[in-house]
Structure 1
């Protein structure tokens, strides 16, 4: 009788572990996260419950705390877990960016190891910045750059074509990225253009831009 009860208990535990949802955090924001639950992607805010009863307890730019089957656990970006404690192989780094004010995508990152704030612009050919931004980042564009002329909404302006050592967003880093430094105050924000985006995988889905490393 004891053996039968023990076998039944082990069988139920195994079934519960097998049925546990597989959870992967693919986007992190203040008080919100994009969570992949058994292959279903969902944007969840703190306090909300997603598929399979998974609830977001807290979230910031570094991690999310999820309640799965009544157990709270911390999840880093793009790491897959299940309630049995299994960690799947880490996929290529991926970043989810929520659409912000004015319908634009803003994201923090780094250029040549220096902190930078980007406005994602799929209409820009290269990463583009003004002279003041380049000086703040320590870029000697007048020496290292090649003179050019760029067309803007205000007309043509002088500029310099340069090559950035690296552009990094979260865990995604691209080396040797073409960029432009424009004379004057335009653009007012550093534009993350196609010279970077063509080197990564990206797509828009339900007001979230997903960027994934190809390297």
Structure 2
């Protein structure tokens, strides 16, 4: 299995997709690793046509520029764009625990989970034992490396069918799976970036955007 070195970032841009679903999972000078319409990750070179009306214009280790139906957009790792048919609202209010952490009870692929809200994580991050419990065959995912406080760590890139928190239900959410060292699922920006976050004291409200 091909190993891809990627840099985990914490801030993302969004753009509106028509009928093409695009995720950026790896960035390199002159190339980008993209997932199109839920398929397998594929490396595209600058100048390549990604899908009808979608072209990779530029790429470096920080971001890519994609011409999307005549409009140029700059994107970063972890950014996911859902198809136009993804509609419906939803919201949830979380309360901080004694340590100031926000814990979300929810579901991943229909299985019950407990997740720590982490705006410093670019993707939803799962320990391997949780992935196995949820029926995720993560070893079929793309192998990558995450830059953590303890150095580079191997992870597997996967896409979750559904993630539910409160009345918010998101489909096709990018995630990573780590073998060891992760005590709890991290609810990262691949989910949070598709919500509006409002913080007031010990309360955090999430509202679905798309």
TM-score interval, smaller chain: 0.5 to 0.7
Query: 1:214 deviation in Å?
Result: 2.1
Flag the structure with larger Rg: 1
TM-score scaled to structure 2, two decimals?
Answer: 0.56
**Structure 1 gaps, min length 5:** 1-90
Aligned to 1:160: 156
Q: Establish whether residue 210 from structure 1 lines up as the match of residue 210 from structure 2.
A: no
CA contact (8 A) 1:126 1:180 kept: yes
Mapped partners of 2:91, 2:128: distance in 1: 31
Find 1:108's aligned residue among 92, 96, 105: 105
Q: Which one scores higher on RCO, CA 8 angstroms, separation ≥ 6?
A: 2
Shift of 1:131: 1.0
SS in structure 1 opposite 2:99?
helix
Moved more, 128-137 or 103-112: 128-137
Give the conservation status (yes or no) of the 8 Å contact 1:179–1:195.
yes
Give 3-state SS (helix, strand or coil) of 1:166's partner: strand
Structure 1 stretches of 4+ moved >2 Å: none
Once the two structures are superposed, the pairs formed by residues 173-212 of structure 1 within 5 Å of their partners are 173-184=169-180, 186-212=181-207
TM-score normalised by length of structure 1: 0.55
Q: Which residue matches 1:19?
A: none
Q: CA RMSD in A?
A: 1.4
Q: Which 5+ residue runs of structure 2 have no aligned equivalent?
A: 1-87
- Residue 207 of structure 1 deviates from its aligned partner by 1.4
CA distance in 2, matches of 1:211, 1:127: 16
Distance in 1 (CA, whole Å) between partners of 2:128 and 2:107 is 17
Give 1 or 2: higher helix fraction: 1
> 1:156 & 1:95 partners in 2: Cα distance?
34
Task: Give the C-alpha shift of residue 130 in structure 1.
Answer: 1.4
Q: Which residue does 1:56 correspond to in 2?
A: none
Superimposed CA distance per residue, residues 87-121 of structure 1 (whole angstroms, 9 cap, x where no aligned partner): xxxx9422111111311000100001110100000
For 1:194 and 1:207, the matched residues in 2 are separated by 20
